[in-house]
Amino acid sequence: MAAPIVGGKAAVREALRMKSGIFGFGMLLFMMLVVVAVPIIAPFDTVRAWGDVSVWTDNPRAAAPDWIDTFSDKKQARNILVEWDEFSIAQSNTSPVFKIAILRARFDFTYDTFPQELRLQMLSNWSDRKPLITVDWRRPDGQSLTIYSLSPDRLAPQVETLTLSSRPDVQANVRNWALGVGADDVADVRPHVSLYAVQDAGMLEPSRAQVLKGTYTLTVQAIMFNQADTLLARFTSYGTVFGLAGTDHLRRDLLIGLLWGAPVALAFGAAAAVVTVMSQVILGALGAYYGGRFDEFIQRSTDFVIILPALPILVLIGTLYQPGILTVLFIVILFNIVGGTTKVVRSIALQTKEELYIEAARSYGASRRRVLFRYIMPRTMPYTFALLALSVPSFIFLEASLSFLGLGDPVLPTWGSIMGDASRNGAVYNGIWWWIAFPAFGIVFATVAFAFLGYSFDKVLNPRLREE
């Protein structure tokens, strides 16, 4: 029989000699790197605006991740955004009464699917009369049409937002033009399809229309009635795919939520696990060492806590008081001051207490504290590490469960709250799998890392589990 492994360092060293240990540490290291990189990739301000719908309007709604088209021969439409300063502006002030401004955006459309939506934003400043605006659409096949003509209602700095793809006037213009060039009529016109469709009989029908690739030009022409009046424009052709992780129903970039989910989950899980396992270990060892009424009290409290329906009570607290994530952490720790670990450590400490070297230490006058903390506790260290590694995921899942029910932190997105959003909005039923599968994968990844670690610590303790 080999000598028992004593102390934390030895346990880690032994665990790292196993494949599962290296695997677990590797995964943990990867997550640590993500945690360090997250504030650089997505600063905290981006994630703090998670609940603010107006921040995310440039993204397509419920769009799949953009790498999905590597699995098919169709290239999905990407987001095309022509910024305020990317429009070329030409002005003519030949007349003293009015001036004409022509804003032009040219962009290439080379995808195999139609965009999701079209949006034009305008920022106009006028003094006497509203400017008159005409929006023209020029296609690669030389066809062109006027899709919109009206005056803006909002003065700068307010932005006039026109969702071209769902405006009845734009739909009517597109239909008239399409019927004129020989298309079959349909009840529901989709400008974002027909404007990009090859000119044929089916160009009004999304199922029959084919994409016309090439360079498109959007022209905004404004007649303004004062020399000081100005107009700026911004155009978005929403893609059907977006980013590495797609978007949700509020157009939020899921990648940001997923990345920030990692530090939140890890910090919550690790903090709860370290504090509770430490308190459980110390109380278990103290109980075993001192015995008597104190031990009995610890034992009964442990049994009580194990039977207590912790999640329902947490849900109750969450619903009645809407606590933030730190309060939840505090309550979770409170409910786990004693627990399963207390029992395990107590039984180990009871055995260790009777061993000769403890008796020897006592006989040369070692203090109780010295015996407890220097001689008994180190023996429980490997167990502690295994239990620590295995309890991190359980706390990660506890937090995820609460957020899933909508009781998590009101500001920060977590893996659980993203999954909860997805579930409440029927992501699975509408085929928006990336919304729910990625956060679930994140949680499983973190869990598996800790499970491997726990397993390797377990193997250190039980030589029978070892490979050789």
Partner 1 sequence: MALAYYLAKRALFLSITLVIATYLVVIISNQGGLIDNQIIAEIRLGVIQELRSDPTYLRLPPDVQKQVFEKKLQERIVFRGLDQPFVTKSFRQTWEALTLDLGRAQNTYGSGSFKLTTIIMERLPRTVFLFTTATVLSAVVGVWLGLRMARRALSIFDRGMTVLSITTLVIPSWVFGIFFILLFAFAFPIFPSGGMVSVPAPTDPWALLADRLYHLALPLITVTFSSFGGWSYTTRNLVLQIMSEDFVTAARSKGLPEKKVLHRYVLRAASPPIITGIVLALIGSWTGAIITELVFNWPGLGLLFFEAVILVDAPTIIALTIIFAYLFVVTVFILDVVYGLMDPRIRALGR
Residue with tokens 């627990």: 339
Instruction: Please give the full DSSP string across 243-290, using - where no structure is assigned.
Output: TTT-B-TT--BHHHHHHHHHHHHHHHHHHHHHHHHHHHHHHHHHHHHH
Please give the size of the binding site for partner 1, defined by CB under 8 A.
Answer: 51
> Looking at 125-133, 165-173, 263-271, 432-440, which segment touches partner 1 (CB under 8 A)?
432-440
Is there binding between residue 3 and partner 1 (CB under 8 A)?
A: no
Residues 73-92 that bind partner 1 (CB under 8 A): none
Which lies closer to partner 1 via its Cβ, residue 198 or residue 317?
317
Q: How far is the CB of 434 from partner 1 (least distance, A)?
A: 10
Which lies closer to partner 1 via its Cβ, residue 121 or residue 301?
301
Q: How far is the CB of 436 from partner 1 (least distance, A)?
A: 6
Is there binding between residue 397 and partner 1 (CB under 8 A)?
A: yes
Out of 137, 196, 385, 455, the only residue in the binding site for partner 1 (CB under 8 A) is 455
Which lies closer to partner 1 via its Cβ, residue 221 or residue 447?
447
Out of 101, 454, 457, 460, the only residue in the binding site for partner 1 (CB under 8 A) is 454
Site string for partner 1, 361-390 (x = CB under 8 A): -----------------------------x
Out of 224, 405, 412, 460, the only residue in the binding site for partner 1 (CB under 8 A) is 405
* Amino acid identity for residue 285 in this structure: A
Residues 101-120 that bind partner 1 (CB under 8 A): none
Could you tell me how many helices (H) and strands (E) the chain has, helices first? 15, 9
Residue 51 makes CB contacts below 8 A (sequence gap 6+) with: 410, 411
Residue with tokens 């016109």: 189
Is there binding between residue 20 and partner 1 (CB under 8 A)?
A: yes
Which lies closer to partner 1 via its Cβ, residue 152 or residue 416?
416
> Looking at 2-10, 121-129, 233-241, 442-450, which segment touches partner 1 (CB under 8 A)?
442-450
Out of 120, 245, 419, 460, the only residue in the binding site for partner 1 (CB under 8 A) is 419
> Looking at 175-183, 288-296, 366-374, 402-410, which segment touches partner 1 (CB under 8 A)?
402-410
Exposure string for 6-42, b = 16+ CB within 10 A, e = fewer? eeeebbbebbeebebbebbbebbeebeebbeebeeeb
Is there binding between residue 435 and partner 1 (CB under 8 A)?
A: no
Which lies closer to partner 1 via its Cβ, residue 241 or residue 443?
443
Which lies closer to partner 1 via its Cβ, residue 65 or residue 318?
318
Give CA 400 to chain center in angstroms: 13
Out of 290, 294, 321, 373, the only residue in the binding site for partner 1 (CB under 8 A) is 321
Give CA 79 to chain center in angstroms: 20
Q: How far is the CB of 301 from partner 1 (least distance, A)?
A: 10
Is there binding between residue 306 and partner 1 (CB under 8 A)?
A: yes
Q: Is 407 helix (H, G, I), strand (E, B) or coil?
A: coil
> Looking at 50-58, 170-178, 319-327, 352-360, which segment touches partner 1 (CB under 8 A)?
319-327
Residue 317 makes CB contacts below 8 A (sequence gap 6+) with: 323, 331
CA distance 292 to 383: 24
* Burial of 415: CB neighbours in 10 Å, binned 0-12, 13-18, 19+: buried
Q: How far is the CB of 294 from partner 1 (least distance, A)?
A: 18
Can you say whether residue 243 is alpha, beta or left, with left for phi > 0 and alpha for psi between -120 and 50 degrees?
A: left
Out of 278, 313, 326, 360, the only residue in the binding site for partner 1 (CB under 8 A) is 313
Mutual angle of helices 377-404 and 8-15, in 10-degree steps = 70
Which lies closer to partner 1 via its Cβ, residue 297 or residue 321?
321
Q: How far is the CB of 450 from partner 1 (least distance, A)?
A: 7
* Burial of 199: CB neighbours in 10 Å, binned 0-12, 13-18, 19+: middle
* Burial of 259: CB neighbours in 10 Å, binned 0-12, 13-18, 19+: buried
Exposure string for 312-343, b = 16+ CB within 10 A, e = fewer? eebeebbeeeebebeebbebbbebbbbbbbbb
Strand partners, 150: 133
Is there binding between residue 17 and partner 1 (CB under 8 A)?
A: no
Q: Which residue from 298, 317, 278 is spatially nearest to 398, judged by alpha carbons? A: 317
Q: How far is the CB of 88 from partner 1 (least distance, A)?
A: 46
Is there binding between residue 201 and partner 1 (CB under 8 A)?
A: no
Is there binding between residue 350 and partner 1 (CB under 8 A)?
A: no
Tokens, residue 138:
């020029």
Residue 45 makes CB contacts below 8 A (sequence gap 6+) with: none
Is there binding between residue 308 and partner 1 (CB under 8 A)?
A: yes
Which lies closer to partner 1 via its Cβ, residue 82 or residue 398?
398
Q: How far is the CB of 428 from partner 1 (least distance, A)?
A: 6
Mutual angle of helices 415-424 and 433-461, in 10-degree steps = 140
Q: Provide the binding-site residues for partner 1, judged by CB under 8 A.
A: 20, 300, 303-304, 306-313, 315-321, 340, 390, 393-394, 397, 401, 404-407, 419, 423, 428-429, 431, 433, 436-437, 440, 443-444, 447-448, 450-452, 454-455, 462, 464-465, 467
